[in-house]
């Protein structure tokens, strides 16, 4: 199983000369395992994703906030006639998911509904446990305004946990540590510094220290800190990474691939 970071910026895409190392595209991670390709979220990072696959790729949405779906209408595969892309949505009704997406991507805000593209976008809802080919997916409700799904993927004897937009309280930390037990890779939201967090409690994002705490409690082998604040520069992220001072804890860089 391997994971490629296509976008890991939080809240809104940016393009600034001081942020080229960690990148400016919003949440999108490509996971390859055997013949499956899965995308975790469809932020602006999705627009530079590959478009040709042996099997239809699946996109798993953690939630519908704009930074996690904004890549969908510009993903070139959706314009390819005869292509199919499967979109797994958080567990609400399919009609509900379609209505939410239509609320963003339909005239007059966007010229075309996602279901009117020449390629087929097939909507499905995520259940607690399901399979996509050889990949087993487990989900749980996270801690975020409007909700966000936390996912664990298992394939080829390895597992990774994707916990973006995630602000667990003390009891939530316990639940999340159990859910993440012994994962090979943990992706965790570290949008805020410790100082900022005090002013943004309840916004649904966490810190590097919370990620480290979760890693230690869960026994996860590697921690990738994600969902960088749009104001955060490369210099600030590099300094924060140096302060953590561990090879197994890093801030995600757009374009990097991690093999498990
Ligand atoms: Zn987000
Ligand atoms: Zn969010």
Question: Among 106, 254, 248, 99, which Cα is nearest to 186's?
Answer: 248
How many A from CA of 65 to the centre of ligand 2?
Answer: 5
How many A from CA of 54 to the centre of ligand 2?
Answer: 32
Closest ligand relative to 11 C-alpha: 1
Tokens encoding 52: 């040709």
| pTM of full prediction above 0.95 | yes
How many A from CA of 164 to the centre of ligand 1?
Answer: 7
- pLDDT given for residue 94 in this prediction: 79
Closest ligand relative to 191 C-alpha: 1
Confidence of residue 154 (pLDDT cuts 50, 70, 90): very high
Question: Among 258, 93, 52, which Cα is nearest to 162's?
Answer: 258
Give the fold, CATH level 3, of 2-259: Metallo-beta-lactamase; Chain A (3.60.15)
Predicted confidence (pLDDT) per residue in 207-219, tens digit: 999 999 999 999 9
Q: Is the pLDDT of residue 95 over 90?
A: no
Contacts for 40 with CB less than 8 Å, ≥ 6 apart: 27, 28, 29, 31, 60, 62, 151, 162, 164, 187
How many A from CA of 76 to the centre of ligand 1?
Answer: 22
Predicted confidence (pLDDT) per residue in 42-94, tens digit: 999 999 999 999 999 999 999 999 999 999 999 999 999 999 999 999 988 87
How many A from CA of 82 to the centre of ligand 1?
Answer: 31
How many A from CA of 144 to the centre of ligand 2?
Answer: 7
Residues 77 and 51: beta-carbon distance below 8 Å: yes
Q: Is the pLDDT of residue 234 over 90?
A: yes
Closest ligand relative to 63 C-alpha: 2
Alpha-carbon distance 47 to 51, whole Å? 9
Question: Among 248, 150, 137, 139, which Cα is nearest to 206's?
Answer: 150
Extents of the domains making up the chain = 2-259
How many A from CA of 112 to the centre of ligand 1?
Answer: 24
- Taking only Cα atoms into account, the Rg of the chain, rounded to an integer number of angstroms, comes to 17
Closest ligand relative to 143 C-alpha: 2
């Amino acid at each position: 199983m391997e994971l490629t970071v296509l976008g890991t910026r939080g809240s809104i895409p940016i393009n600034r000369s001081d942020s080229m190392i960690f990148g400016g595209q919003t949440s999108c991670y490509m996971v390859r395992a055997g013949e499956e390709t899965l995308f975790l979220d469809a932020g602006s990072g999705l627009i530079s994703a590959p478009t040709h696959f042996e099997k239809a790729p699946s996109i798993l949405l953690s939630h519908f906030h704009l930074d996690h779906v904004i890549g969908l209408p510009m993903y070139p595969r959706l314009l390819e006639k005869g292509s199919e892309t499967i979109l797994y949505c958080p567990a609400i009704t399919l009609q509900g998911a379609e209505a939410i997406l239509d609320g963003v991507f339909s005239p007059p805000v966007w010229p075309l509904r996602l279901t009117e593209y020449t390629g087929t976008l097939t909507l499905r809802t995520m259940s607690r446990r399901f399979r996509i080919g050889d990949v087993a997916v487990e989900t749980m409700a996270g801690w975020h305004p409007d909700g966000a799904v936390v996912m664990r993927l298992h394939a080829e004897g390895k597992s990774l946990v994707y916990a973006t937009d995630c602000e667990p309280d003390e009891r939530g930390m316990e639940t999340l540590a159990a859910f993440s037990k012994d994962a090979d890779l943990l992706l965790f939201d570290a949008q805020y510094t410790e100082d900022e967090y005090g002013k943004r409690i309840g916004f649904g994002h966490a810190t590097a220290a919370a990620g480290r705490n979760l890693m230690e409690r869960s026994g996860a082998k590697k921690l990738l800190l994600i969902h960088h604040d749009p104001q955060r520069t490369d210099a600030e992220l590099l300094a924060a990474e140096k302060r953590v001072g561990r090879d197994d804890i890093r801030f995600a860089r757009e374009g990097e691939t991690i093999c498990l």
